[in-house]
Amino acid sequence: MDNKNKFSILNIDDKNLQNLSTLGYTYMTPIQEKSLPIILEKQDVIGKAKTGSGKTVSFGLGILNNLDSTNFRIQSLVLCPTRELATQVANTLKNLARYKHNIKILTLTGGVPYKPQVHSLSHQAHIIVGTPGRILKHLTEDNFSCESINTLVLDEADRMLDMGFTEDINLIIDYLPKKRQTMLFSATYPETIEELSKTILQNPITVEVESTHTSSSITQKFYEVNTHQKTSLILKLFQPTQKSVIIFCNTKIQCDELADSLEQYDIEPLVLHSDLEQKYRDETLIMFSNKSYPVLIATDVASRGLDIEDVDMVINYDLPNDFEVYTHRIGRTARAGKDGIAVSLVDDLGRFEDLEEYFDTKFELLVSDDIKDKDDVRLGYDYSTLYINGGKRHKLRAGDILGALTAGIGLHKDDIGRIDILPTCSYVAIKNSSYQKAFDGLNSNKMKNRYFKIYKR
């Protein structure tokens, strides 16, 4: 790598740079390299790039560039399509803002109680990240003022429009000062986005990058199957070396049904769709990302834009109706230079041919007999999750949990996986071989001078 794509060539201060490097960001991704010089000049920008290309850091640095931390007023508004995405963006922004003191970021989304958000707003914030519906509700009820907003971000704009947020977005924009920097990011650029950008951006510069994943690193396979053969084919596809598999279904019902049938083979899948309670969805994502469960069954809506790394295999239980979605789905695997595999189960030949036409290519259609039967269906999973009945509100930090597990209980730090601290609870992934020891130990040891309730998940 040469230096031309290092963050250090940008006009940002040393503390910011140093923080980026502690976050593991030294070299800019292509979208960052193209967009940041424009963004830092405070120009409006349209960024076209696929999921996983690093857009959050692009607009995040733009937001911080415009932020006066001593002015305790809302200065930036970030609109995202789903609650999960908003949470993810807010977390990234928090990390990026660490080099400044006391930057307050509020997440305002649906699916969680409204009143506490009103209360939080009364204490002010610097940055708001949320979904259009809930933000609009707060605006119409006059819960916050837009006077000091100088930056607007529309993240995954195409998805927001797909989800029917066009009107809400336009209404929100009516509340904002005209003089502002607007950044719009979208994986695709249909006419609807073009229309929207005309009305909300001023002399925007468009930057575009190819998908960061060359198609060669994703092996695509297609199997012709009858619907009733799908479960047994999926079982055959699982490999013990795989620790992370996402199965996409077109409907919520299919997700639930597939989960039921996999359970009969002692596979315990996680399920993610929008009928499930928010708390459950958060927990599901944590336990899939921290490698406690190897299989996630999800709908597209629920998993949109989510940054789940290291997915070994994506299975399309059905081909999606929309082929943009197909690209989106298979892009979950083969991230960060790793290879991945995407398998589609085809029971509708017409749709398969449409897909070939869409990509202007011929795919080989395999028959499921090509895969050997296995008597033992197993996927690898190294970790299990402990739930701790305490979180940020109890001033619990990752370091406290890590300390209790290592110094307190004598676990090796390699036995401890990802730690997630939420407002009122926390999750820690523990290697299976030390799981019981960690459970017993945390139950009988104090953290922050008190006992927390620990549960196995």
Q: Which is nearer to ligand ADP, 29 or 43 (CB)?
A: 29
Of 55, 134, 281, 328, which one interacts with ligand ADP (CB under 6 A)? 55
Do residues 73 and 88 touch, judged by C-beta distance below 8 A?
no
* Contact mark string toward ligand ADP, 351..390, x via CB under 6 A: ----------------------------------------
For 37, phi and psi rounded to 5 degrees?
-55, -35
Q: Find the binding residues for Mg ion in span 4-63 (CB under 5 A).
A: 55
Residue 52 within binding range of ligand ADP, rule CB under 6 A: yes
Residue 56 within binding range of ligand ADP, rule CB under 6 A: yes
Residue 220 within binding range of ligand ADP, rule CB under 6 A: no
Residue 32 within binding range of ligand ADP, rule CB under 6 A: yes
**Distance between CA atoms of residues 205 and 211, nearest Å:** 19
Q: Find the binding residues for Mg ion in span 281-300 (CB under 5 A).
A: none
**Distance between CA atoms of residues 62 and 100, nearest Å:** 14
Tokens of 107: 């997440």
Q: Which is nearer to ligand ADP, 212 or 316 (CB)?
A: 212
Q: Which is nearer to ligand ADP, 85 or 355 (CB)?
A: 85
Quote the least distance from Cβ 41 to ligand ADP, whole Å.
19
Residue 281 within binding range of ligand ADP, rule CB under 6 A: no
Residue 244 within binding range of ligand ADP, rule CB under 6 A: no
Helix axes 14-22, 55-65, angle to 10 degrees: 150
Q: Which is nearer to ligand ADP, 12 or 442 (CB)?
A: 12
Quote the least distance from Cβ 344 to Mg ion, whole Å.
25
For ligand ADP, which stretch binds (CB under 6 A), given 10-18, 26-34, 269-277, 403-411? 26-34
Nearest to 221 by CA among 310, 139, 319, 357: 319
Quote the least distance from Cβ 206 to ligand ADP, whole Å.
16
Element (H, E) at 418: strand 416-421
- Cβ-count burial of 413 within 10 angstroms (0-12 exposed, 13-18 middle, 19+ buried)? exposed
Rg, Å, the chain Cα set: 23
For ligand ADP, which stretch binds (CB under 6 A), given 8-16, 22-30, 311-319, 393-401? 22-30
Phi and psi based region of residue 42 (left: phi greater than 0; alpha: psi -120 to 50; beta: remaining) = left
Q: Which is nearer to ligand ADP, 55 or 134 (CB)?
A: 55
**Distance between CA atoms of residues 130 and 113, nearest Å:** 14
**Distance between CA atoms of residues 426 and 392, nearest Å:** 8
Q: Which is nearer to ligand ADP, 187 or 234 (CB)?
A: 187
Residue 54 within binding range of ligand ADP, rule CB under 6 A: yes
* Contact mark string toward ligand ADP, 416..455, x via CB under 6 A: ----------------------------------------
Residues 6+ away with beta carbon under 8 Å from 287: 270, 293, 385, 427, 457
Residue 24 within binding range of ligand ADP, rule CB under 6 A: yes
Residue listed under structure tokens 């620990």? 454
Of 10, 45, 57, 247, which one interacts with ligand ADP (CB under 6 A)? 57
- Within 10 angstroms of residue 393's Cβ, the number of other Cβ atoms is 10
> What residue spans of 72-204 are helical by DSSP H?
83-96, 115-122, 132-140, 157-162, 166-175, 191-200
Partner whose footprint covers residue 57, from Mg ion, ligand ADP, none (CB < 5 to 8 Å by kind): ligand ADP
Query: How would DSSP label each residue in 107-123?
Result: EE-TTS-SHHHHHHHHT
Nearest to 35 by CA among 212, 210, 207: 207
Q: Which is nearer to ligand ADP, 182 or 231 (CB)?
A: 182
Of 53, 131, 197, 316, which one interacts with ligand ADP (CB under 6 A)? 53
Contacts with Mg ion by CB under 5 A lie at: 55
Contacts with ligand ADP by CB under 6 A lie at: 24-25, 27-29, 32, 49, 51-57, 305, 307
